Amino acid sequence: MHKIEMNVQPLVTIFYEDEPMQARQGDTVAAALLARDQMIFRVTPVTGAPRGPFCMMGVCFDCLVEIDGATNRQACMTPVVEGMRIKRQNGAGETGLDIDYDRNCQ
């Protein structure tokens, strides 16, 4: 997938997995990562299956990432901010719930 370069918005620097990258101000995190060929945003808690953005409108939750230490952030609904630190989400992240996946998710 390649982004059409018609955008004249200024660039910001964000970090994905501790690597700096440029993004257009106003883009969502999902758009910025997809423009850099990043397709896997998280892995599922039960099987570890890879997931990436699907709906790009806040419905599917397949784009969950960790942003500035906060898990379960929807990349498709979050605009980039200068210096933002984004990481791939591994599993459920912090839900505030005590979930036993072996018992509850079979």
Residues binding ligand FES (CB under 6 A): 53-56, 58-63, 74, 76
For residues 11 and 61, which CB has a smaller minimum distance to ligand FES in the complex? 61
The whole-angstrom separation of Cα 26 and Cα 37 is 19
Distance CA 41, CA 62 (A): 8
- Smallest distance from ligand FES to CB 8, Å: 26
Smallest separation, CB 63 to ligand FES (Å): 3
Q: What is the nearest approach in angstroms of ligand FES to the Cβ of residue 27?
A: 14
How far does the chain reach from its first CA to its final CA, in angstroms? 35
- Distance separating alpha carbons of residues 20 and 54, to the nearest angstrom: 24
Cα(16)–Cα(33) distance, integer angstroms = 8
Residue 72 Cβ vs ligand FES, minimum distance, rounded to whole Å: 11
- Residue nearer to ligand FES on the CB measure, 37 or 102: 37
Q: Which is nearer to ligand FES, 74 or 89 (by Cβ)?
A: 74
CB atoms within 10 A of CB 91: 14
Nearer to ligand FES, 11 or 58 (CB): 58
